[in-house]
């Protein structure tokens, strides 16, 4: 049986249930989303259950040195930065100068400005110029999908064995799962195949539920060997 990607009411209920139960957003996180809409930014933050999930993963990892590629208004940045111990640091890369200003404002409001540095500019440029003393413990990739391959190679270079690489949006929109019905979908499935067979990476795709219809997407969770 074929399903349309937003045909399943139960997915929406599941998302609402999980997020109502254990992914409560405080006023700071709610505000970031609200203000981002007011400022005309696209509604493409990670869902709250993925925010909570990456927050817990960073805590379990005892990550002190985090990298994020794709900041938008700083929503996922706040989830991640709140996992850091005293002295921990997060670097987030964002190319849009207006988004950078808004995200910096949100991080100040969240009291996280000491722990987070947002670097403005094209992520590939920023990555090539990053001077890191310590390898990253966790890297979250959520920017322009056509550069995902390059971001993963940088993530391997800048991390250590045992590091986690997390990648958002590994199931494309609007098609039968696993079937490449568009060029974009073909790219995502090819990328997943590349990740699954990469000698340095151990991959699992975690299903995620996006938007108020609970469209099925996926977060890639990768252990660097």
Q: Binding segment for ligand SAH among 59-67, 69-77, 184-192, 215-223 (CB under 6 A)?
A: 69-77
- CA dist 11 → 5, 17, 18, 22 (Å): 10, 10, 11, 17
- Helix residue ranges per DSSP H, the chain: 9-22, 27-38, 48-60, 75-81, 97-109, 123-129, 148-158, 183-197
Sole binder of ligand DHB in the list 69, 142, 163, 191 (CB under 6 A): 142
**DSSP code of residue 145:** G
Examine residue 47 and tell whether it contacts ligand SAH (CB under 6 A): no
Q: Which does 191 bind (CB under 5 to 8 A by kind): ligand DHB, Mg ion, ligand SAH, none?
A: none
Examine residue 186 and tell whether it contacts ligand DHB (CB under 6 A): no
E strand or H helix that includes residue 117: strand 116-120
- CA dist 8 → 39, 207, 210 (Å): 31, 14, 12
CB-CB contact of 19 with 49 (8 Å): yes
Q: Using CB under 6 A as the criterion, what x/- string covers residues 89-108 for binding ligand SAH?
A: ----xxxx--x---------
Examine residue 126 and tell whether it contacts Mg ion (CB under 5 A): no
- Count other C-beta atoms under 10 Å from residue 71's C-beta: 28
Sole binder of ligand SAH in the list 72, 100, 139, 152 (CB under 6 A): 72
Examine residue 5 and tell whether it contacts ligand DHB (CB under 6 A): no
Which residue, 64 or 72, is less far from Mg ion as judged by CB? Answer: 72
Residues 27-66 that bind ligand DHB (CB under 6 A): 44
Examine residue 169 and tell whether it contacts ligand DHB (CB under 6 A): yes
Q: Binding segment for ligand SAH among 16-24, 107-115, 136-144, 187-195 (CB under 6 A)?
A: 136-144
Which residue, 50 or 224, is less far from ligand DHB as judged by CB? Answer: 50
Q: Is the dihedral of CA 38, 126, 148, 199 positive or negative?
A: negative
- CA dist 204 → 42, 166, 167, 216 (Å): 28, 10, 11, 15
Q: State the residues that interact with ligand SAH by CB under 6 A.
A: 44-46, 70-72, 75-76, 93-96, 99, 122-123, 142-144
Residues within the interface to ligand DHB (CB under 6 A): 44, 142, 168-169
Q: Which residues bind Mg ion (CB under 5 A)?
A: 142, 168-169
């Amino acid at each position: 049986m074929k399903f349309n990607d937003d045909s399943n009411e139960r997915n929406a209920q599941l998302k609402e249930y999980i997020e109502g139960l254990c992914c409560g957003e405080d006023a700071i996180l709610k505000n970031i989303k609200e203000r981002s809409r007011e400022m005309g930014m696209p509604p493409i933050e990670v869902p709250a259950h993925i925010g909570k999930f990456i927050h817990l993963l960073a805590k379990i990892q005892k990550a002190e040195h985090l990298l994020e590629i794709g900041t938008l208004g700083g929503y996922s940045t706040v989830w991640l930065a709140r996992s850091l111990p005293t002295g921990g640091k997060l670097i987030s890369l964002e190319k849009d100068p207006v988004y950078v200003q808004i995200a910096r404002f949100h991080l100040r409001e969240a009291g996280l400005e000491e722990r987070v540095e947002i670097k403005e500019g094209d992520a590939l440029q920023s990555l090539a110029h990053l001077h890191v003393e310590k390898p990253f413990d966790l890297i979250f990739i959520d920017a322009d999908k056509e550069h995902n391959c390059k971001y993963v190679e940088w993530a391997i270079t800048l991390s250590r064995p045992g590091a986690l690489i997390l990648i958002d949006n590994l199931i494309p929109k609007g098609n039968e799962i696993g079937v490449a019905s568009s060029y974009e979908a073909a790219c995502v499935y090819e990328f997943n195949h590349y990740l699954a067979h990469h000698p340095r990476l151990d991959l699992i795709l975690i299903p995620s539920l996006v938007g108020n219809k609970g469209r099925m997407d996926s977060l890639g969770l990768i252990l660097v060997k």
